[in-house]
Amino acid sequence: VHLVTAASQTSEVELMALEQFARGCHVAFEFGSFQGVSAARIAGAMAADGLLYCVDPWPRSAARENPCYSIFRRHLQRSGYWAKVRIVREFSNQAGEFIPADADFAFVDGDHSWAGVESDWQIVRSKLKVGGIVCLHDSVIPKSEPWRQPESVEYYRNVISTDSDFETIEHVHSLAALRRVRWTYEVAVQ
């Protein structure tokens, strides 16, 4: 099979920010791995014994493997980080049981609809430890690309940026980076 070079919509400045925030981390997860461009950069920046859980359904057609998954695997193997990734071939809302609850880094870049990010945000809240960093793609409208307005921008503005367990550290192009500063237990109210 002829495979093309791994591609990504994630820009170089965003990839550099992912590396900066994943540097030295031990347990990380990514929602939406596509062809592995962001995964290789995150895995490369993590500690030598770090593990990156890559969550993507990479839907199969009946007859053949999803080409994006083949490109992902080859890209991670060639970059030398295959041993640092764990494949979770699921939609993110089915992935919780496979991801450890003490993650110190997360990158959310899967389903950019309101419902998709809402679900992903609940998983991040249940998995990211205090001090951990989460990066969310397509959460800020880049000045140079005002036409980019997925629902994830609205969800970030209205919900995530007001979550008192997190503080926004930086916006890089379309990416928002936040640190978890506390863990508020939700108390069931009768």
Q: Which residues bind ligand SAM (CB under 6 A)?
A: 8-10, 31-34, 37-38, 55-57, 68, 91-92, 109-111, 116
Q: How far is the CB of 31 from ligand SAM (least distance, A)?
A: 5
* Nearest residue (beta carbon) to ligand SAM: 32
**Nearer to ligand SAM (CB atom), residue 17 or residue 27:** 17
Nearer to ligand SAM, 30 or 104 (CB): 30
Q: How far is the CB of 110 from ligand SAM (least distance, A)?
A: 3
Cβ nearer to ligand SAM, comparing 9 with 126:
9
CA–CA distance, 145 with 173 (Å, rounded to integer):
9
CB of 134 to ligand SAM, least distance (A): 14
Strand partners, 176: 136, 171
Spatial CA neighbour of 25 closest among 53, 45, 39: 45
Q: What region, left, alpha or beta, does residue 57 occupy, with left being phi > 0 and alpha being psi -120 to 50 degrees?
A: alpha
Neighbour count for residue 17 (Cβ, 10 Å): 21
Compute the least distance from the CB of residue 156 to ligand SAM, in Å.
16
Q: Name the residue nearer to ligand SAM (CB basis): 52 or 178.
A: 52
Q: State the first-to-last Cα distance of the chain, in angstroms, to the nearest integer.
A: 58
Angle at 169 between CA 103 and CA 47, to 5 degrees: 35
